[in-house]
A and B are shown apart, each in its own frame.
Chain A
Amino acid sequence: MGRTEDGTSRNGRRRRALLLAALLTATGPAFAADEYRGPTEPAKAPPGIKLAIVSCAASLKGCQIPAEAAAEAAKAIGWQTTIFDGKANPKTQSSAMLDALAWGANVIISSSIDYRSIQLALGQAKKAGVPVVSVGQGGDTPNALPVLEPGQLAWAFAIDPDNLALGRAIGEWIVRDAGGKANVVAFNDKEFDSVDTQHKGIMEVFAKCGGCTADEQSFSANQIATNLGQQVVGYLRAHPAVTYVYMPYDPAAFAVAAALRQAGLGKRVKLASLLGDEENLDLIRRGDVQVADVAFDTTYEGYAAVDQIIRHLNKQPLFEPHGENVPMLVLDKTNLPEKGNWVASSGYKEKFLALWK
């Protein structure tokens, strides 16, 4: 899995020159974030579809925004739709998916739910002939396909940003901000495949940066509400040379920002993160510990999911990559939206709706 550039240049000098060029120019992927790179082939929406959307947790924006966007898109084309709440618990997520089947769904969107923990529900959906489509959990192009155990089930297809590119983008921003001499600790949460892939992307960049030092640390999501802040503060006290902290998603970064502030480390280190949550962007606006955040458009994900579902139901070929090139952008103080989340301004909603007529 993964794209590696190690083999593209054996000449060290050339590689360093390429890296320098990258450092000077890169703040994200090699295309304009607001450029529409989704499908252009029309796909007429079939009528009378019941679309169920199971959100990993209604209280988490990362789960709920794509779910609500998909519901908005589905309603716009006259489909019946309901959002079920998975309450951040695999058991409830499985139960909600079974409720979606009982509700009579023709298709189910699963928003940020791990297929490895809901095999019962996926099995029932398969029996009922209902495709389950994922948003926000990896496992399809442009990311690596999952390696399944015998009998294990996964998604019909999945909509995701390019996770490796997200990691690379924030890594390159850090290297550039540090003038090629970043001393970084990058935290990873291996529970989520997408996060692990993003982590690989960021570490790939640091590995190629001759003047950088990068350490890897792990944590789990349930530490966010308890001792994650202490863990990071403890690490920084033991490693006074570290000046950049990377947290793999915004809720964790938000908790860590508070801990760093309280520990008096807010001025010593710069915090970077991934997702583009509004509260984290506010931290950047206020110059409060966090300095950068690589955001991707989660509303676009919802629309892209409905687009691919229409193509699937019409038996048309799916758009490649299956993630439909979710827009992404590294945000810092220079390019933040005035308020709220970052949303790509390519007019994609109108473009999608036009394709579905």
Chain B
Amino acid sequence: MTTDTSRSPAEPVATTAGGNDAPRPRALAAFLKRYTTLLILLALMAVFSGLSPQFLTSLNLKNLLVVQVTVCCMAFAAILPLIVGEFDLSLGYALGFIMMLGACLGGLGCGAAVIIPAMLAAGLAIGVLNGLLRIWFNISSFIATLGVGILLSGVTQGMSGGSVLYAGIPPILTAAGQDEVLGLGISVWLTLVLALVLVFVLEHTPFGRQLYAIGGSERVAFLAGIRLNLYKVLAFAGAGLLVGIAALFELGQSGGANPLFGPELLLPAYAAAFLGVTTYRPGYFNVPGAVIAIVLLAVGFNGLNLLGAPYWLQPIFNGIVLIVAVITAAAEGRQILK
């Protein structure tokens, strides 16, 4: 290697060993901080590849990704309210309700042209309701969304009659959930497109930047002329719409709607959203970070499964990863404040 003497010493450039290498460790440290979760993921993949010959097979990786699409969409849904400083605890219940709605409509003989828009509209309506309860009635988002969620769980059970509904699910939904294109599940491709759209909207449009501004400081955002209430309702509405998409994928994958399903996906979605704060844009809720976090947790589950690890090791693994990542995020946050 040679030293590039044409650059200023202050610039972070590649240098030979023994030269002026101060900028390089700083850049490396910044990179490591920014992609800690990704590095843990790669390290974990290397370990599991060494221990299990089945891990790094295309079948396994394909399967690993396809079952994560619902959690991914749920994490995206969690992120939108989190960005503006709010929580949506209705997400899991809403997923169950929207799936049940789709299954009920299928059972009544409705086709995809009715079911898909109805499910998306239901998600949107739930999100708007959450937003209005938060803004108009000034109820804490914890309480408002929890109340809506519990209400939805009752409606879901009532609609189901206590049974799993599976009749009349449109073939287009099951195809989207279960079939493959170019070696990956259709739902995986669609989730990637959704992630890219969200990254664009959140990071490259005034709307997205204003959402982050509200989460940074409501007062400053208000003084800057941002319509706080409108944007918060939109954030909740967006979350509802994303849950609607998650419900479409899940109904297609599972092939039926169970009246008890949904709430258990709330915590994985929030875990991914919080874990995602450590990566890509450290200190901020962000979509790529959440995706990496979901893949990390999924790799842990999958790898331990392939190794035949006892069932109680998986939650221990997930807990450790979450704690380590949040500690990293907290350190990163302090760094940002400095």
Identify the A interface with B (CB < 8 A): 58-59, 82-85, 87, 89-91, 94-96, 98-99, 101-104, 114, 116-120, 123-124, 128, 149, 151-152, 188-191, 196, 218-222
Q: List 9 A-B contacts (CB under 8 A).
A: A58-B312, A85-B311, A91-B250, A94-B67, A103-B305, A116-B258, A120-B67, A120-B254, A149-B168
Q: What is the interface size of chain B, counting residues whose CB is below 8 A from a CB of the partner? A: 44
Is B66 among interface residues, defined by CB-CB distance under 8 A? yes
Report yes or no: A117 in contact with B256, Cβ–Cβ below 8 A: yes
**Would you list the 8 A-B pairs with minimal beta carbon distance, nearest first?**
A119-B255, A102-B60, A85-B311, A98-B63, A58-B311, A190-B162, A116-B256, A99-B305
B162–A95 CB distance below 8 A:
no
Complex contacts, A188 vs chain B, CB 8 Å: 162
Q: A83-B311, A114-B164, A119-B256 are in contact. List 8 more A-B contacts (CB 8 A).
A: A95-B301, A98-B66, A99-B63, A116-B166, A116-B255, A119-B255, A151-B174, A196-B163
Question: Which residues of chain A are within 8 angstroms of B306 by Cβ–Cβ distance?
Answer: 99, 102-103
Q: Are the C-beta atoms of B67 and A98 separated by less than 8 Å?
A: yes
> In the complex, what's the smallest C-beta–C-beta distance from B56 to chain A, in angstroms?
10
Whether B254 pairs with A101 at a CB distance below 8 angstroms is no
A84 CB → nearest B CB, Å: 6
- B308 interface residue (CB < 8 Å to A): yes
Determine the distance from Cα of A259 to Cα of B161 in the docked complex, in whole angstroms.
25
Chain A residues with Cβ below 8 Å from B250 are 91
Partner of A89, one of B55, B161, B264: B264
Q: How far is the CA of A84 from the CA of B54 in the complex (A)?
A: 15
Interface pair B163/A191, CB less than 8 Å apart: yes
By the criterion CB–CB under 8 Å, are B57 and A102 in contact? yes
Please report B residues at the A interface, Cβ cutoff 8 Å.
54-55, 57, 59-60, 63-64, 66-67, 70-71, 157, 161-164, 166-169, 171, 174, 177-178, 250, 253-256, 258-261, 264-265, 298, 301-302, 305-306, 308, 311-312, 314
- Quick check: B174 and A119 within 8 Å, CB to CB? yes
Q: Name B303's closest neighbour in chain A (CB-CB).
A: A99
**Alpha-carbon gap, A58 to B315, bound state (A):** 13
Asked if B164 and A191 sit within 8 Å, CB to CB, the answer is yes
Please report the C-alpha to C-alpha distance between residue A189 and residue B54 in the assembled complex, in whole angstroms: 39
